[in-house]
């Protein structure tokens, strides 16, 4: 597999799999003479698997984890025989998620898909269904009737129930009804149970996956099932977020928020806010996630906080430099931290922007 990389109009090729050192050398060669921070984009890919580009186009090649995943995917493709590469291409088109982790998961679970060679149109599908009685024996026509059948119409009407897509190699479909989910939770994992069944639901989930979960549980509404377990990918959240009043719908919204929080690098801030606010219900924890911009993690340097407090009051850099030798910024910082009710947490100092946190309760003296 060859990636074609572009940086400010310059291009270079990168063969995968390769070592991190070799990849870093290629990126350095591409950036030579340019801004060192210039972003590198994957402009195209040369691979025996078509439909691969949407799954890798946004990969950050400077990220060690993302690069490792690309290497894993390239190794998987190299180990596939041609027929399996064709099936993989169709599976990528069928799933159509554009997610690198999902592409690797599909490559590791090819037995969940099947390829019907030479079926590339509704007419060919219709003939196949009639000739093989493929769907529960439904298509059983006498030989005398077959010259008069509209095979294209039969194929078109059954295409959705077959659950496949046409590719240049043939029809690719899932062997199972459920949409493929990535291994393990992306942000959360709910264990849903009824009196007869249980179902592990990975979140965040699409509407299609939510509907499939209901079908698997045999319920019309998630209120008919019990949430028996909640697991988070990020550490500490199981200790900070209560499960009281949790619903599947709110949990899915929380998982979407957690994805954004993680992408923005603000998980520590969320944990700090939770530690101080101590939500009593899942809904309250969700509200904090939604309003996370109302919180700020700050440096524990009192001098820096004092200077920043003056900046918020309108002082510019020139004024701060002028009064630097005449102002006890450390004392000012301590005073402003107290006024802003900055709170110390296991994740750092945090303050609330809209209004200060309530005063901490002081432990009274014990009467003897």
pLDDT tens digits, 275-300: 999 999 999 999 999 999 999 888 77
CA distance 283 to 9: 48
pLDDT tens digits, 125-168: 888 877 775 543 444 555 666 676 778 887 777 776 677 788 88
Q: What is the pLDDT of residue 368?
A: 30
Q: What is the pLDDT of residue 362?
A: 47
66-101: b or e for each residue (b if 16 or more CB lie within 10 Å)? ebebbbbbbebbeebeeebbbbbbbbbebbebebbe
- Residues 187/174, Cβ–Cβ less than 8 Å: no
* Structure confidence at residue 182 as a pLDDT band (50, 70, 90): very low
233: DSSP letter: S
For the record, the structure tokens of 317 come out as 């850099």
Query: Under 8 Å CB-to-CB from 69, ≥6 apart: which residues?
Result: 59, 100, 101, 104
Query: Domain coordinates of the chain in residue numbers?
Result: 2-108, 121-167, 188-290, 295-352
pLDDT tens digits, 50-60: 888 888 888 88
Phi, psi dihedrals of residue 341, rounded to the nearest 5°: 55, 50
- Residues 56/103, Cβ–Cβ less than 8 Å: yes
Q: Which helix (H) or strand (E) holds 117?
A: strand 113-117
* Structure confidence at residue 173 as a pLDDT band (50, 70, 90): confident
Proportion of the chain in helix, strand, coil states, percent, rounded to 5: 50, 15, 35
pLDDT tens digits, 110-128: 888 888 888 888 888 888 8
- Residues 217/225, Cβ–Cβ less than 8 Å: yes
123 burial level (CB within 10 Å; 0-12, 13-18, 19+): middle
Q: Which helix (H) or strand (E) holds 170?
A: strand 170-174
Q: What is the pLDDT of residue 310?
A: 67
Q: Which helix (H) or strand (E) holds 80?
A: none
pLDDT tens digits, 240-268: 999 999 999 999 999 999 999 988 889 99
Q: What is the pLDDT of residue 35?
A: 64
3-class DSSP assignment, residue 333: helix
Query: Under 8 Å CB-to-CB from 98, ≥6 apart: which residues?
Result: 54, 55, 57
Q: What is the pLDDT of residue 306?
A: 64
Q: What is the pLDDT of residue 160?
A: 65
* Structure confidence at residue 183 as a pLDDT band (50, 70, 90): very low
Sign of CA dihedral 218, 224, 225, 231: positive
| Residue 26 pLDDT greater than 70, yes or no | yes
Average pLDDT over every residue of 75-95: 90
| Residue 315 pLDDT greater than 80, yes or no | no
3-class DSSP assignment, residue 323: helix
Q: What is the pLDDT of residue 290?
A: 97
């Amino acid at each position: 597999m060859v990636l074609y990389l572009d940086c400010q109009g310059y291009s270079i090729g990168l063969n995968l799999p390769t070592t991190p050192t070799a990849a870093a050398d290629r990126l350095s060669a591409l950036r030579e003479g340019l801004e060192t921070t210039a972003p590198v984009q994957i402009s195209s890919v040369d691979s025996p698997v078509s439909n691969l580009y949407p799954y890798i186009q946004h990969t950050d090649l400077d990220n060690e984890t993302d690069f490792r995943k690309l290497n894993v995917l390239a190794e998987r493709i190299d180990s596939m025989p041609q027929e399996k590469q064709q099936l993989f291409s169709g599976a990528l088109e069928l799933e159509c998620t554009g997610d690198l982790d999902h592409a690797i998961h599909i490559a590791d679970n090819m037995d969940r898909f099947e390829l019907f060679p030479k079926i590339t149109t509704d007419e060919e599908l219709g003939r196949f269904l009639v000739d093989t009685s493929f769907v529960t024996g439904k298509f059983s026509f006498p030989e005398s009737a077959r010259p008069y059948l509209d095979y294209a119409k039969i194929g078109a009407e059954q295409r959705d129930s077959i659950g496949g897509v046409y590719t240049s190699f043939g029809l690719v479909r899932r062997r199972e009804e459920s949409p493929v989910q990535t291994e393990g939770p992306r942000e959360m994992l709910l264990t849903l149970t009824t009196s007869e069944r249980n179902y592990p639901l990975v979140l965040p989930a699409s509407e299609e996956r939510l509907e499939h979960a209901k079908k698997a549980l045999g319920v019309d509404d998630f209120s008919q099932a019990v949430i028996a377990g909640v697991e988070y990918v990020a550490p500490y959240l199981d200790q900070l977020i209560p499960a009281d009043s949790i619903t599947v719908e709110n949990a899915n919204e929380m998982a979407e928020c957690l994805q954004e929080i993680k992408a923005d690098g603000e998980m520590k801030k969320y944990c700090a806010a939770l530690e101080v606010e101590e939500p009593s219900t899942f809904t309250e924890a969700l509200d904090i996630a939604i309003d996370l911009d109302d919180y700020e993690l700050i440096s524990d340097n009192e001098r820096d906080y004092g200077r920043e407090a003056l900046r918020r009051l309108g002082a510019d850099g020139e004024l701060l430099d002028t009064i630097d030798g005449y102002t006890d910024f450390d004392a000012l910082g301590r005073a402003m931290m107290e006024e802003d009710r900055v709170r110390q947490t296991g994740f750092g100092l945090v303050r609330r922007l809209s209004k200060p946190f309530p005063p901490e309760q002081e432990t009274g003296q014990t009467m003897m």
